[in-house]
Amino acid sequence: MSEAGKPRLCRVSGRDTWHIYHQRKRISTGCTDRASAELILARYAAELSRPTTRAVSVSEILSLYLNDRREALKPGAERLSWAHKPVAAWFGEKPPEAVTDRECRAYAQKRMETGIAPSTARTEMQALRAALRWAAAQKIITECPNVPLPSRSPPKERWLTRDEAHALIGGCEAFHIRLFVILALGTGARVSALLELPWSRVDMERRIIDLRDPGKARTAKGRARVPINDGLLATLQEAHAVRETGWVIEWAGDRVASVKRGFRAATIRAGLEGVTPHTLRHTAATWMAQAGVPLWEIAGFLGHSNTAMVEETYAHHSPGHLKGASSSGYDPSATVPG
C-alpha cells in the first residue's frame, strides 16, 4: 500500500475527536487524545493487512484436497475418493462453520443407522478432518473446525480354520479367484496389493514376492517382500504358464479390478459365513501366531512398521501368550514353604 493510500489520523473542524481518514472516508476513533487514537489506527491498519479468505463450502474443500493429493501423487487418494462422497453429500454447500461436534455426531449416527460399520464412518470423518486441516494450512479457511471421530470398531475375530480354507479353495470355480485365495493365505497381503501385483515383482527363482509398488509413496499401511512357500510356488508356476497379461491376477486377458463377486460365490459354495477377502489376511496372521511365530516377525510379514496393532489383534493366538505371567500366580500343587 502506497503512503498516499495508507489510513491516517485527522481532525474535523469544530470537533475534538480524532478521525481515521482512509479512501476518502472519515471514521471517528471516539478519542480526544492522539495517543489513544494512534492505537485505534494501528488496529485498523492491522485489519486491512490481514489476508482475506474467500467463501468456500465443505464440498469444495474436500474436492480441492482430493485433487491436491492426486496431483502430488500422495498416498491415500484412492481411499479418500470414496470416503469423501457421503461427507460431501451431507454437508454439501454449507460453510466450514457448519462442521460442529453435534453435526459430526449426527452424521456418524445416521451412517451407522443405514448399516455402515463404525470403522467406515470413522474413516469418512478422518477424511473430513484431514481436508479441513489442509485447507487451514493453505489459508483457504482461517480456522479448522474440530471433527470428533466415532469410536474404533473392535478387531475382527473371524479367521479360517485349515479345513475352512480347503473348503473355500474347493469352492473357487474360476482359476483367478482360486489363485487370489491361495496368494492371500500365503502372503497375508491386502486385496489391493495382490490385484496390483505384476509378474515383474514375482521372483520364483529366488522365491520372493515384492508387494511394494515403486510408483507409490510409502504409507503407515506398508507392504513387504515375502517368501514363497512350496504350495504357493506350485500355484504361481501354474498361473505363469498360462498368463496372458503382465498381471498375476488376470481374467479374460485383462487385469482384475475386483474379486468381490467371485469370492462371495466361493464362500457360498463352501458354506462359509462372515468371510470377506480381508479375512484371508487376518487368517494368515492368525495361523502364524498360533504357530508361535514372534509378533515382530508377523508385523514385518504384514508390512507393519511396529508391532502395536499386531500385539493387540494376534497376541492372544500365540501359544506362549501370558504364560510367563500365569506361571507366577498361585499353584495349589506347589509345596508351601515351611
pLDDT in tens, the chain (338 residues): 455 678 899 888 778 888 888 888 888 888 888 998 898 888 888 877 765 555 788 999 998 888 888 776 665 556 667 778 899 889 888 888 889 999 999 999 999 888 888 888 888 999 899 999 999 998 888 889 999 988 876 666 788 999 999 999 999 999 999 999 999 999 999 898 999 999 999 999 999 999 888 776 555 555 778 899 998 999 999 999 999 999 999 999 999 999 999 999 999 999 999 899 999 998 998 898 888 888 888 888 887 766 666 666 666 666 655 444 444 444 455 444 44
Question: What pLDDT was estimated at residue 322?
Answer: 44
Q: Return d(Cα 209, Cα 202) in angstroms, integer.
A: 5
pTM exceeds cut of 0.85: no
Q: Return d(Cα 150, Cα 52) in angstroms, integer.
A: 33
Question: What pLDDT was estimated at residue 213?
Answer: 80
Question: What pLDDT was estimated at residue 250?
Answer: 96
Question: What pLDDT was estimated at residue 17?
Answer: 87
Question: What pLDDT was estimated at residue 327?
Answer: 46
Question: What pLDDT was estimated at residue 319?
Answer: 63
For residues 8 and 42, is the Cβ–Cβ distance under 8 A?
no
Question: What pLDDT was estimated at residue 28?
Answer: 85
Question: What pLDDT was estimated at residue 169?
Answer: 96
**Torsion, Cα of 109, 114, 116, 121 (10° steps):** -30
Q: For residue 123, how many C-alpha atoms fall within 13 Å in the half-sphere facing its CB?
A: 17
Best CA proximity match to 85, nearest among 100, 98, 104, 66: 66
Residue 171, number of CB atoms within 10 A of its CB:
19
Question: What pLDDT was estimated at residue 294?
Answer: 84
